[in-house]
Amino acid sequence: MDPIIAGIAGLILILLLMSQRVPVALAMMSVGFVGLITLNSWPAALATLVTETWSTAIFYELTVIPFFVLMGNIASMCGMSRDLYTAANSWVGWMRGGLAHGTVLGCTGFAALSGSSVASALTIGRVALPEMARYGYDRKFAAGAVAAGGTLGILIPPSTGFVIYAILTEESIGRLFLAGVLPGILLAGMFMLTIFIQTTLQPAIGPSARRYTWREKRDSLARGLSIIFIIVVSIGGIYGGVFTPVEAAAVGAALALFFAARRKMVSPKMLGTVILNTVSTTTMIYFIIIGAAIFSPFLALTQIPESLAKALNAMELGPIVLLIIVLLAFIVLGTFLDGFAMMVLILPIVLPIIEQSQVPNFLELRPDSSDFKVWFGVIMVVILEMALISPPVGMNVFVVKGVAQDVPMRDIYLGILPFWVAMILCLAVLVAFPQISLLLPNTMLG
Amino acid sequence: MRVLDNLCVGFAMIAGLILFGLVGLTFLDVIMRYIFSSPIFGARDVLEMGMVVVISLGFPFTWRIGGHIVVDLLPDYGFSFLTAVRDLFVRLIGVVIFGLLAWRSWYTAEDAALFNEKTNMIELPFQPFLWLLAFASVFQVVVLLTESIHILFKENIKHNIKLHQIPGESVVQHD
Amino acid sequence: KFASFVPTKYVLHKPVFEKLANDLAQETGGEVKIKIYASGALGKGPVEQYQRAARRIAEISYGLPGYTSSVFPKTLLIELPGVTQGHQDATRKLWKVMGSHLKSEFKKTVPLAVFVTPPAVLMMRDKPIRSLSDLKGLKIRASSKSAAAILTAYGATPVQMPATKVYTSMSTGVVDGALMGTGSLLIFKLIEPTKYVTMGLPEMPTTLFMVMNEQAYKELSDKNRKILDKLTGLDISLRAAQLEANFGDLGMKKFRALPGKQVIQLSAGEQAKFAKAAEAGVASILSEAEGKGVPARAVFNAMKN
Ligand code: NA
Ligand code: NA
């Protein structure tokens, strides 16, 4: 069969299977497998199935995922999200829209403990949404702040999004983690700016909450100290080059367990919950990486990425136009596809196209260089964040809906809209100034 | 189904305990390297093989709680008949893929013995871990077949697992 | 299909891989064609490369036996200190014992090329190594179990980590240095964190291979197989080794040209001390291998003499 036709058939088949609720990873495995039989051979397809499953399972660098997931789970279980939110509120809660500012700050802090956006939205949402309701915050506005703030979870390290990107592109996990820090802070700042503008225009949607006494401020900060300690040691350890990401994750998880034990929060039931949740998240992520690893040799044999890149190059779109088309395509796909699914499916096709275009030159980044891939990783993750909150399918929206059952979906999406605009702006800034993403990895890891 | 679910939870628990062990080992490795300047020889080998165990044992549990990423491209069918057909179809694909994986892992395990494949530093042999992968795949096939039978007899296949969900760390698909 | 895990800009891609593909297509009149899938398109990473050929995911693959050292106990003896003098010598020695000892290790495959990189040097971030005693207690990245044993024999503490992590670990002092081939100066950018390079240690090269699936090899017509045999083997291995050596020299040349960098050549006296320490390490490695039923001493002696 003609490889390109086989490839197109394969992509259509994948979409068909996914629409019938075949798990994304299983769809990629089966289409990749059948495709390899067609374009290579039956023994090669069988061998790829086992070899890629095995080599993914024993992939040393991937161990950051279970370790950081474990750390996040322990942190959630022992009330660290509440501590973070309280600490943030004691300082900013008195302002107009203060509880929303506190939500974003709390999410930023929690993002440094957890690799998942959904987790950030849920743990902070559980604390923040009732609090904002109590002070008469507009429900749309409150839901938007939680859903958007939660997305920071995959931009600020640790981040499962960056780990999967790193595996797909063979880029360094440590560099990507560091690259996410400044953009994460920038985005958090833009969210707070959004809140400021909204509450200035409509003061009623976010009244000020009570002022905390100095004593309360000090105590809440003291409680937050253990969290800051974990973050500084683990993420700071990567920055300082003291640990590899895998080691940092193990140290973070061990410290989280230590603080949980000191708070007397460790019980068999707590450990059981932590174990089952960690194991299920870990296998879910490994499964999708295995699916991608079996699908991508098929994709390579179809030569679709090469042919598409050639065709697009022949069209001689300017770099800006090409980049905008690609980003728009990702944003549109992200509205209905799961972010990870989108990344493992589309990135292997799109990355070579951009690499071989004028875009890297235009940004003064060497194509095929680490800088280019790291920068694009940050862009990719911001797009994943947008996918999490865009209709019709946005995990973070479902999460917020789960906590605030009485708010209609339509209202949640309306509340998100201003934050979504802020993300578009942030994306534009990150494209215009790749240095923001590259500063930390380049100063520290060279 | 209930027996299977209990087994799934049991395996996942073992997987989790091993994961705790791996965290502990890596933590110790770091401490030993910095404080005593003598890292644990072969820690990485143990980590690599340990993760094979974690993934193998954790997989059926994750399947049972619907923990894998599923895309909702189309709205749900109204008819329960079509839904049943679709659910059976998903499981059929799963049976084929995991059946093949089980068969080939077993075969590869023999290859590993023939090639004398071991980890690089402390030479843990690959073979038993490939056997475990084969076993886990067979178990997954059993789970899928049991689910299929339940669907055929129009019984509820929702998991009986009591899971105290930690907010959101698991992206769980609720059906 | 030729599976290569390295990108197309890799030093061997054009002059060895592509040249072989072109020569083969030309001499067989287009009957045998090789398409190269670079950058791990058929499966990522160096570790599983041998299996990719053995299981016929690709007919030919390029990789390092050192990543699966338990599979190649005999071939890897070439990497022990004191066996070889230079890459040409090492590659010749490999092929000298290929038929009698090594071929049996390449199960389900046929070795097309087996060769070595130039010997490993000590790359240090801030501590110059002028004598054996300078190494005492320092944390040095080792690439294999044997290298770890030799480093222990030198009095250093071997640290295990993937080659791609050495850059970060050296920049930040997680390790004091690394024992690696000069090619790593450029490939892994170690030229930046390294301040001192010590040369003249007992030679420890790194082995590389290009293997073909045995079944696929047998399926070739007699005529085409003869052509392939002619194009592969010792000659292509020597040429590849030379290219690797040139690349390593290029790295060293660039290193010397940078300000503040220093190359240390061990004195004859120190070389002897290193050699003596290494001997003890080699002896223990050999007897351990013998204990596992590998005729290590016989192969070791056959290679050496
Ligand atoms: Na995070
Ligand atoms: Na979406």
- Which string of DSSP letters, residue by residue, matches B4-33? HHHHHHHHHHHHHHHHHHHHHHHHHHHHHH
What pLDDT digit, counting tens, does each position of A270-327 carry? 899 899 989 988 998 899 889 988 998 898 888 888 788 788 778 877 888 888 888 8
Query: What does the alpha-carbon distance between residue B122 and residue A417 come to, in Å, rounded to a whole number?
Result: 55
CB count, 10 Å around CB of B164? 12
The whole-number pLDDT of residue B175 equals 26
Which ligand has its closest atom nearest to the C-alpha of A386? 2
Nearest C-alpha neighbor of C168 from the set B37, B34, B31, A243: A243
C145 touches chain B (CB under 8 A): yes
The whole-number pLDDT of residue A209 equals 78
Query: What does the alpha-carbon distance between residue A224 and residue A218 come to, in Å, rounded to a whole number?
Result: 10
**Token pair 């943030």: residue:** A88
Q: Please give the structure tokens belonging to residue B86.
A: 């679709």
Q: Are C199 and C220 in contact (CB under 8 A)?
A: no
Q: What are the two backbone dihedrals, phi and then psi, of residue A443, each rounded to the nearest 5 degrees? A: -70, -35
The whole-number pLDDT of residue C175 equals 87
Return the SS3 of A193: helix
Q: Which burial class, exposed, middle or buried, applies to A366 when counting CB atoms under 10 A from its CB (0-12, 13-18, 19+)?
A: exposed
What pLDDT digit, counting tens, does each position of B119-130 carry? 877 888 888 999
Interchain contact, B69 vs A272, CB within 8 Å: no
C:242-261 residues touching chain B, CB 8 A cutoff: none
Which ligand has its closest atom nearest to the C-alpha of A337? 2
B77 pLDDT more than 80: no
What pLDDT digit, counting tens, does each position of C238-255 carry? 889 988 888 888 889 988
**Token pair 């030479």: residue:** B123
Interchain contact, B33 vs C139, CB within 8 Å: yes
Among partner residues A40, A59, A241, which is closest to C171 by beta-carbon distance? Answer: A241
Q: Give the best-scoring range by mean pLDDT among A211-220, A236-245, B47-56, C10-19.
A: B47-56
Which ligand has its closest atom nearest to the C-alpha of A388? 2
What distance lies between CA A102 and its chain's CA centroid?
21
* End-to-end CA gap in chain B: 18
A367 pLDDT more than 80: no
B:59-98 residues touching chain A, CB 8 A cutoff: 59, 61-62, 65, 67-74, 86-87, 89-90, 93-94, 96-97
CA distance A298 to chain C (A): 8
- The percent of chain C in helix, strand and coil, each rounded to the nearest 5, is 50, 15, 35
**Token pair 């370790």: residue:** A67
Query: What does the alpha-carbon distance between residue A283 and residue A290 come to, in Å, rounded to a whole number?
Result: 10
The whole-number pLDDT of residue B151 equals 87
The whole-number pLDDT of residue A105 equals 93
pTM for this prediction: 0.86
Query: What does the alpha-carbon distance between residue A188 and residue C262 come to, in Å, rounded to a whole number?
Result: 46
Interchain contact, B41 vs C148, CB within 8 Å: yes
CB-CB neighbors (< 8 A) of B68 in chain A:
23-26, 284, 287-288
Confidence of residue B171 (pLDDT cuts 50, 70, 90): very low
Among C49, C69, C70, C139, the strongest candidate for a mutation testing the B interface, having the largest count of B CBs within 10 A, is C70
Return the SS3 of A201: helix
What pLDDT digit, counting tens, does each position of B88-97 carry? 999 999 999 9
Q: Are A14 and A25 in contact (CB under 8 A)?
A: no
Among partner residues B19, B59, B71, which is closest to A66 by beta-carbon distance? Answer: B19
- Which string of DSSP letters, residue by residue, matches A64-95? HHHHHHHHHHHHHHTTHHHHHHHHHHHHHTTS
Residues 6+ apart with CB under 8 A from A313: A356, A357
- Which string of DSSP letters, residue by residue, matches A359-393? HHHHTT--TTSHHHHHHHHHHHHHHHHHHHHSSS-
Among B59, B69, B137, the strongest candidate for a mutation testing the A interface, having the largest count of A CBs within 10 A, is B69
CB-CB neighbors (< 8 A) of C145 in chain B:
120-121, 123
Residues 6+ apart with CB under 8 A from B99: B137, B141
Q: Counting one residue from A and one from B, how many pairs have CB atoms under 8 Å apart?
A: 226
List chains touching B (3+ CB pairs under 8 A). A, C
Q: Which H/E stretch holds residue C124? A: strand C120-124
CB count, 10 Å around CB of C98? 18
B164 pLDDT more than 60: no
What pLDDT digit, counting tens, does each position of A212-228 carry? 888 888 888 888 888 88
CA dist list (Å): B63 to A66, A327, B11, B58, B141: 17, 33, 13, 9, 11
CB-CB neighbors (< 8 A) of C41 in chain A:
296-297, 300
Q: Please give the structure tokens belonging to residue C131.
A: 């004598």
- Three-state SS annotation for B66-125: CCCCCCCCCCCCCCHHHHHHHHHHHHHHHHHHHHHHHHHHHHHHHHHHHHCCECCCCCCE
Q: Give the best-scoring range by mean pLDDT among A124-128, B19-23, B113-117, C252-256.
A: B19-23
Nearest C-alpha neighbor of A144 from the set A428, A394, A426: A394
What pLDDT digit, counting tens, does each position of A183-208 carry? 999 999 999 999 999 999 998 888 88
Residues 6+ apart with CB under 8 A from A316: none
What pLDDT digit, counting tens, does each position of C34-87 carry? 888 887 788 777 778 888 888 888 899 998 888 888 888 888 888 888 888 888
How many residues belong to chain C? Answer: 305
Rg of chain A in Å (alpha carbons): 22
Domain count for chain A, please give it: 1
Residues 6+ apart with CB under 8 A from A192: A101, A104, A105
Q: Please give the structure tokens belonging to residue C100.
A: 């009698």
Q: Is the peptide bond before A392 cis (omega within 30 degrees of 0)?
A: yes
Query: What does the alpha-carbon distance between residue A41 and residue C55 come to, in Å, rounded to a whole number?
Result: 11
Query: What does the alpha-carbon distance between residue A211 and residue C17 come to, in Å, rounded to a whole number?
Result: 71
CA distance A241 to chain C (A): 5
> Average pLDDT of B9-38?
91
Q: Positive or negative CA dihedral for C179, C181, C185, C189?
A: negative
In this structure, which amino acid lies at residue C1?
K
The whole-number pLDDT of residue B169 equals 39
CA of A423 to the centre of ligand 2 (A): 14
Q: What are the two backbone dihedrals, phi and then psi, of residue C293, each rounded to the nearest 5 degrees? A: 90, 10
> Average pLDDT of A59-85?
87
Among partner residues C45, C56, C189, which is closest to A44 by beta-carbon distance? Answer: C56
CB-CB neighbors (< 8 A) of B16 in chain A:
274-276, 278-279
CB count, 10 Å around CB of C295? 13
Q: Positive or negative CA dihedral for A373, A374, A376, A381?
A: positive
Residues 6+ apart with CB under 8 A from C261: C194, C195, C196, C197, C255
Confidence of residue B133 (pLDDT cuts 50, 70, 90): very high
Query: What does the alpha-carbon distance between residue C75 and residue C72 come to, in Å, rounded to a whole number?
Result: 5
What pLDDT digit, counting tens, does each position of A109-153 carry? 989 888 888 888 888 888 899 889 888 899 999 999 999 999 998
CA distance B127 to chain A (A): 12
What pLDDT digit, counting tens, does each position of C266-302 carry? 999 999 999 998 888 888 888 888 888 888 888 888 8
**Token pair 């907010």: residue:** B167
Query: What does the alpha-carbon distance between residue C181 and residue A333 come to, in Å, rounded to a whole number?
Result: 46
Query: What does the alpha-carbon distance between residue A132 and residue B160 come to, in Å, rounded to a whole number?
Result: 36
B118 touches chain C (CB under 8 A): yes
Bridge partners, C109 (sequence order): C213
Q: Which H/E stretch holds residue C179? A: strand C177-181
Residues 6+ apart with CB under 8 A from C242: C87, C88
A50 touches chain B (CB under 8 A): yes
Interchain contact, C70 vs B116, CB within 8 Å: yes
B44 touches chain C (CB under 8 A): yes
The percentage of chain C sitting over the pLDDT mark of 70, rounded to a whole number, equals 100
The percentage of chain A sitting over the pLDDT mark of 70, rounded to a whole number, equals 99
How much is the ipTM here?
Answer: 0.83
The whole-number pLDDT of residue B168 equals 41
Q: Please give the structure tokens belonging to residue A64.
A: 């950051």
Nearest C-alpha neighbor of A437 from the set A86, A156, A122: A156
Query: What does the alpha-carbon distance between residue C77 and residue C145 come to, in Å, rounded to a whole number?
Result: 12
Q: Is the peptide bond before A158 cis (omega within 30 degrees of 0)?
A: yes
Query: What does the alpha-carbon distance between residue B46 and residue B59 come to, in Å, rounded to a whole number?
Result: 20
> Average pLDDT of C172-181?
86
Interchain contact, C165 vs A300, CB within 8 Å: no
> Average pLDDT of B58-78?
79
List chains touching C (3+ CB pairs under 8 A). A, B
In this structure, which amino acid lies at residue C265?
Q
Q: What does pLDDT average to over chain A?
A: 87
Q: Which residue range is the domain that position A400 belongs to? A: 3-444
CA of A428 to the centre of ligand 1 (A): 22
Query: What does the alpha-carbon distance between residue C289 and residue C294 come to, in Å, rounded to a whole number?
Result: 5
Query: What does the alpha-carbon distance between residue A372 and residue A318 come to, in Å, rounded to a whole number?
Result: 18
Query: What does the alpha-carbon distance between residue B2 and residue B147 come to, in Å, rounded to a whole number?
Result: 11
Ramachandran region, residue A278 (left: φ > 0; alpha: ψ -120 to 50; beta: rest): alpha
